[in-house]
Amino acid sequence: MNHQLSDLTEEGLRAFVAEQLDRSRSRTVQLTDAVDTDDLVRQHSKLMSPLVWDYAHIGNQEELWLVRDVGGREPVRQDIDELYDAFMHARADRPTLPLLGPTETKAYVVEVRDKVLDVLDHVKLGGGRELVENAFAFGMIVQHEQQHDETMLATHQLRTGVPVLDAPEPPAGRRLARSEVLVPGGVFEMGTSVEPWALDNERPAHAVRVTPYVIDTAPVSNGDYLRFVVGGGYTDPKWWSEAGWAHVQKASLVAPRFWEQADGNWMRTRLGHRELLPLDEPVMHVCFYEAEAYAAWAGKRLPTEEEWEFAARFDPATGRTRRFPWGDESPGPQHANLGQRHLRPAPIGAYPAGASPLGVEQLIGDVWEWTSSDFKPYPGFRAFPYDEYSLVFFGNDYKMLKGGSFGTDEVVARSTFRNWDYPIRRQIFAGFRCARDPLPSELG
């Protein structure tokens, strides 16, 4: 997925869209076929919807935008719109709704998809209609399905029982020559005005000045984080913000979610596999407050969203802002651990080909990275195509996450992509890396 999308012929664009729709659907089917009917309709955690809700919601959004809006066709199931409106019902309440059952859901999403492929064959992509310029609405729906596929993977992580998902192991790690690098700072172009499928909150591109800072070359590992845990990090208020300390006590947090101690060993459970804590893997299932406390304990801080994106996109040799840490090329398996190719983060140092020019690694993929920033609109922000994607979430309630995880698809994991969540959330595939202000001696 790249901005060369606009160079495709209309036929080429249609073929590309069809392939992306198909790819996301294969994953949805894989994630839902992996469990039995009972597991599909059950709520595995109050934080999540039943998988069957996500499944029908994917179809319903596709119907609303592509069948009805873009295609101007008759509704397929207008009667269920309200059930699958994420704003009408909190996740915790969704199991009590008269939802479609698994068989009905599968038939519904197939019927919608058939109509969408017909719309794709007939609709003019562009011609001054913003919603379909470069097939934007199709791209938005592909990303929506992929984002729900990551959410469904998080539901799988919360599910108890025998493992049902399988994937090859990620590549081996390696020891990095340096644990942190000085980023010289400068002016870069944050966000984008040219990525055709970028969502409203990533737009427009705007110049941002960043002052010099030091950033970790890799995400914080389980081994690093374990030292904070066993060193009493969770019992000493001096590392925690006021809100963080209140939360850690109220929620009785003692370690990342899915970690436990057994017979003197630290274990963690991953998609039904209980295994020895892999020390060289990026830590995940920590909330923002835990990330912030660890950083303080390490004598550092979290990067701002601007610092994260600068590290991921700025090329000091040319002064140019690029699409990815490694350049403008779309992510390949050599660059980053994305797309549920491996069902875990890769060990530190596994992706030398994904390094930025300054040697910052694993910015894309593996784990989402908490930043210290709140969710704010960029200067010149315009809600498109609906207020409920971003506009209603702006403010101080959410913290920004960047870079995508092993569960995120490459069609979503742009360096400009902005994810946000409450600072207490731990079920997402999120970790972090640290940054700090440079010492006077480092600035020379």
Annotated binding site for Fe cation: which residue ranges? 57, 144, 148
Q: Which contiguous run of DSSP H or E holds residue 316?
A: none
| Concatenated DSSP letters of 345-399 | PPPTTS-GGG--TT-----SBSSEEEEEEEE-PPTT----S-TTTTGGG-EEEEE
Q: What is the DSSP string of 42-88?
A: S-S-TTS--HHHHHHHHHHHHIIIIIIIIT-PPPS-GGGGGGG-TTT
Contact between 80 and 30 (Cβ < 8 Å): no
If phi over 0 gives left and psi between -120 and 50 gives alpha, with beta otherwise, what is residue 345? beta
Distances in Å between the alpha carbon of 19 and those of 13, 25, 359, 407? 10, 10, 34, 19
Binding residues: 57, 91-94, 144, 148, 421, 425
Instruction: With beta carbons less than 8 A apart as the criterion, state whether 137 and 66 touch.
Output: yes
List, in order, residues 6 or more apart from 167 with CB less than 8 Å away.
340, 341, 342, 343
Q: Is 361 left (phi over 0), alpha (psi -120 to 50) or beta?
A: beta
First to last CA, the chain: 41
Structural tokens at position 35: 């469990």
Q: Shortest CA distance to 100 belongs to which of 50, 175, 46, 142? A: 50
DSSP E strand boundaries for 212-333: 213-216, 259-262, 265-270, 273-276, 314-315, 320-321
Annotated binding-site residues for gamma-L-glutamyl-L-cysteine read 91-94, 421, 425
